[in-house]
Amino acid sequence: MNFPRMLAVTRKEAFQILRDRRSLYLALGIPLVLLVLFGYALSLDVDNIPMAVWDQERSPKSRELVDRLTSSGYFTMVMYTDSYKSMVDAIDQRDAYIGLVIPWNFTRTLTHKGGATVQAFLDGSDATRAGIAIGYLNVITSIYRNDLLTEELRRQAVQKVDPPIEPRINLLYNPELKSRINIIPGLVAIIMMVIAALLTSLTIVRERETGTMEQLISTPIKPSELVIGKLIPYFVLGYVDMLMVYLAGQWIFGVPFRGSTGLMFALSGLFLVGSLAFGVWISTVAQTQLAATQFALLGTFLPSFLLSGFVFPISNMPLFEQLITYVIPAKYFIVILRGIYLKGVGIEVLALQALALVIFGVITTSLAALKMGKKLR
């Protein structure tokens, strides 16, 4: 390894980056703009579910049920209806998401064997949202049922009635279940993965397409020097991106940061090296810039978005798909970021993920250098 030679490549590449101002602005601006936009816009919270009610009884008991549903904050009343037809229409036109039918004999059947049954219709096309809405509905009605039973026991002259079981539900790390707190660390991982790979994916293939590759071949440079020399300026650029994104998360969104900043930046460095080298490797494999961009986008954005556990839980996937996720570096980086941001855990918990990132970096850098070696010869 000859350092002056390597640094010469670094300098040349840095000049090239600085000269293409538009690309430079895009490289620095995209991560920040995207993080701010999405951090602000994206949420998976399910509340204020629009509800249409057909209360056939209009009694104190039935009104109390509706009150309990709306005062929970999870359901918002959008309309009272008096027929199935208008309720169905409201759901079809997406004005209401859930339709509740309280039968005309609600109060009477409450005290009958078998009990009263309330009917709920909902638009199930978004299965997750429907599942959560059904969950809320079940919990609120079962609380109501428990209260009715307790009332009944009191009436039967049992002086003091305690509920037999009291669930103490404790939501760790994110007690208000604000999805934004979870989404932002994930977004950081995805944006950094794509930007890093996109930045470097054209470096080599561009030399080929513009014909400057021959000039490089005629110099005494070694493949590893070329790869590392080309990586350095992009590494600096990537770190600046990372810093901006981190500050935006803290200042704009106030995402809790419970772990060590030093550890996060150290592990981010590992991740950056791997993703940048991944881009260089793509650049040596691709024969045209078109192919390089396709490879880079194919290899980073959708896999990091869909296979990293960002939104879609990995445990839900079939086994072979879970195996595929092991080669998605964003998966490890998301675990690391969520761990440091939300759980405040240290390296002793994240050691496996850190190791995975080291392996990723070593593999991509050596693949790039190997492939480059063949090209230079």
Partner 1 sequence: MRSSPSQHTEGMSARFRESMRRIRYMVRKEFLQLVRNRQNFRLLLMAPLFQLLIFGYAVRLDVQDVLTVVVDMDRTGLSRDIVDSFSRSGYFRIVGNLSSYDEADRYLERGWATIAILIPPDLERRIKGERTAEVGIRIDGVDTTTASTVSGYADAILKGFSAERLEARIARARGIRYQRNQPDVVTQQLSVATRSWFNPNLESKDYFVPGIFALILTFFTITVTSMAVVREKERGTIEQLMVTPLSPLELVLGKTLPCFMVALANLVTITFLGLFWFEPVVRGSIPFFLGVGVIYVLTCLAIGMTISTFCSTQQQAMLSSFMVLQPAVLLSGFVFPIHNMPPIIQYVTFINPLRYFIVVVREIFLKGLGWDVLWPQVVPIMVMSVVFILVATMLFRKQVD
Positions 149 through 188 that interact with partner 1 (CB under 8 A)? 149-153, 156, 158, 161-175, 177-179, 182
Q: Under rule CB under 8 A, which residues in 16-55 are in contact with partner 1?
A: 20, 22-23, 26-27, 30, 33-34, 37-38, 40-46
Residue 338 sits in the site that holds partner 1 (CB under 8 A): yes
Tell me which stretch binds partner 1 (CB under 8 A): 236-244, 253-261, 265-273, 303-311: 303-311
Q: Under rule CB under 8 A, which residues in 222-261 are in contact with partner 1?
A: none
User: Whose Cβ is closer to partner 1: residue 235's or residue 310's?
Assistant: 310
C-beta separation of 277 from 234 below 8 A: no
CA pair distance 290, 294, nearest whole angstrom: 6
**Contact pattern for partner 1 over residues 88 through 127, marking x by CB under 8 A:** ---x------------------xxxxxxxxxxxxxxxxxx
Choice from 301, 347, 354, 376 touching partner 1 (CB under 8 A): 301
Backbone angles phi, psi at 317, to 5 degrees: -80, 155
Radius of gyration of the chain (CA): 29
Choice from 14, 96, 137, 192 touching partner 1 (CB under 8 A): 137
Tell me which stretch binds partner 1 (CB under 8 A): 77-85, 144-152, 212-220, 245-253: 144-152
Binding-site size, partner 1 (CB under 8 A): 123
Strand partners, 311: none
Shortest Å, Cβ 122 to partner 1: 5
The length of the chain is 377
Residue 354 sits in the site that holds partner 1 (CB under 8 A): no
CA dist list (Å): 36 to 19, 92, 251: 27, 34, 11
Choice from 229, 238, 303, 361 touching partner 1 (CB under 8 A): 303
Residue 60 sits in the site that holds partner 1 (CB under 8 A): no
User: Whose Cβ is closer to partner 1: residue 243's or residue 302's?
Assistant: 302
Nearest of 317, 319, 353, 6 to residue 189 by alpha carbon: 353
Q: Is 26 exposed, middle or buried (0-12, 13-18, 19+ CB in 10 A)?
A: middle
Residue 212 sits in the site that holds partner 1 (CB under 8 A): no
Residue 347 sits in the site that holds partner 1 (CB under 8 A): no
Strand partners, 52: 79, 99
Question: Which two structure tokens, joined as six digits, stand for 262?
Answer: 């030093």
Q: What distance, in Å, lies between the first and last C-alpha atoms of the chain?
A: 17
List, as own/partner pairs, every contact residues 350-353 make where C-beta atoms lie below 8 angstroms and the sequence separation is at least 24, other chains included: 350/263, 350/267, 353/267
Residue 79 sits in the site that holds partner 1 (CB under 8 A): no
